[in-house]
């Protein structure tokens, strides 16, 4: 299993030179801790010089494990489940931009918070229908470009549908695309799943999983709370999972501390 951590590049505010300088510094730091990759959470990937990023990434022998898209919903308000067709189309267009970027960087694109939330104009049923039809369009774009999409079940306090793993598995089985896989986040698993059944269920669905997010039950660094990472990660390890486990936590006391603590902790338990 490979290890990465989520970081932003602040591409909206920073100049190209600043983006590149920050990325180089990030690569150097993570390489010194034996990381295998970086997951980038981006708002405007088209503002980033992908060729220069590739050169730096290669010089450190790192991978871009995945690209996060949630800020498209948070900052622009575009979402795949939106009741307004024009706004849905804007979200799909943004996914196309992420796919282009991910193709250049040989990465994957996350479908998480970009699904959005419904308001008084919509309903749970309509939202699910819109997400499904938008996702079919995103899958066509993914297939055309050979880029994997990662569908992430997210807890009910952040999003209104596809909160559980089984609901999400049903969706990806229904859509049935070779370019649509599951992202399992330990934090959402902790909040949404029944601890009496989840470990057995995870063993049944490992073939659908292509990415993991790691955070403890308080969303702090793994090992600081009581989520059972040993059992969780061994399910994937025993199934021959060779993808990424990516740290996505509240970065406190600091990004550097979380990166250091977590790599030490995971080496102890894996
Ligand atoms: C949001 O809670 C989350 O886990 C992100 O990975 C979703 O884009
Ligand atoms: Mn996540």
Residue 112's CATH number:
3.20.20.150
Residue 126's pLDDT band, with cuts at 50, 70 and 90, is very high
Q: How many domains does the chain have?
A: 1
Mutating to test ligand 1, I would choose from 149, 159, 185, 247 the residue with most ligand atoms within 8 A of its C-beta, which is 185
What tens digit of pLDDT does each residue of 152-186 get? 999 999 999 999 999 999 999 999 999 999 999 99
pTM above 0.85, yes or no: yes
Q: Which residues line ligand 1 (CB under 6 A)?
A: 68, 70, 110, 112-113, 152, 154, 158, 185, 213, 248
Quote the pLDDT of residue 18: 97
Residues lining ligand 2 (ion), CB within 5 A? 185, 213, 248
Mutating to test ligand 1, I would choose from 6, 66, 69, 112 the residue with most ligand atoms within 8 A of its C-beta, which is 112
Residue 114's pLDDT band, with cuts at 50, 70 and 90, is very high
Q: What percent of the chain has pLDDT over 90?
A: 96
Considering all CA atoms of the chain, what is the largest pairwise distance in Å, rounded to the nearest integer? 51
What tens digit of pLDDT does each residue of 32-71 get? 999 999 999 999 999 999 999 999 999 999 999 999 999 9
Looking at residue 75, what DSSP letter applies? Answer: I
What tens digit of pLDDT does each residue of 230-262 get? 999 999 999 999 999 999 999 999 999 999 999
* Ligand 1 atom showing the smallest separation from residue 154 Cα: 2
Q: How many angstroms separate the CA atoms of 61 and 38, rounded?
A: 11
Q: Residue written as tokens 């059972």?
A: 228
Cβ neighbours around 200 below 10 Å, total: 9
* Ligand 1 atom showing the smallest separation from residue 158 Cα: 2
Q: How many angstroms separate the CA atoms of 86 and 203, rounded?
A: 40
Question: Quick check: 149 and 111 in contact, CB under 8 A?
Answer: yes
Q: Across the chain, where does the E strand assignment appear?
A: 2-8, 37-41, 63-68, 109-111, 149-151, 180-185, 209-214, 244-247
Q: Map residue 105 onto helix, strand or coil.
A: coil
Structural domain that includes position 258: 2-269
């Amino acid at each position: 299993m490979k290890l990465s951590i989520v970081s932003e590049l602040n591409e909206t505010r920073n100049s190209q030179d600043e983006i590149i300088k920050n990325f180089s510094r990030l690569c150097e730091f993570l390489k010194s801790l034996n990381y295998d990759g970086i997951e980038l959470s981006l708002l405007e990937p088209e503002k980033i010089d992908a060729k220069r990023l590739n050169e730096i990434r290669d010089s450190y022998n790192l991978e871009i494990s995945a690209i996060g898209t949630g800020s498209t919903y948070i900052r622009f308000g575009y979402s795949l489940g939106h009741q307004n067709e024009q706004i849905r189309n804007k979200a799909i267009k943004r996914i196309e931009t992420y796919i282009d970027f991910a193709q250049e960087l040989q990465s994957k694109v996350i479908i998480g918070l970009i699904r959005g939330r419904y308001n008084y104009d919509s309903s749970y049923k309509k939202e699910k229908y819109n997400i499904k039809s938008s996702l079919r369009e995103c899958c066509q774009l993914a297939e055309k470009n050979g880029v994997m999409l990662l569908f992430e079940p997210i807890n009910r306090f952040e999003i209104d549908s596809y909160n559980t793993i089984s609901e999400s598995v049903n969706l990806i089985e229904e859509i049935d695309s070779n370019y649509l896989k599951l992202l399992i986040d330990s934090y959402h698993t902790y909040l949404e799943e029944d601890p009496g059944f989840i470990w057995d269920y995870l063993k049944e669905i490992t073939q659908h999983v292509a990415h993991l997010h790691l955070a403890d039950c308080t969303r702090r660094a793994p090992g600081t709370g009581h989520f059972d990472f040993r059992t969780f990660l061994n399910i994937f390890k025993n199934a021959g999972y060779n993808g990424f486990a990516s740290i996505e936590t509240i970065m406190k006391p600091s990004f550097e501390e979380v990166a250091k603590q977590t790599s030490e902790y995971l080496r102890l338990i894996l």
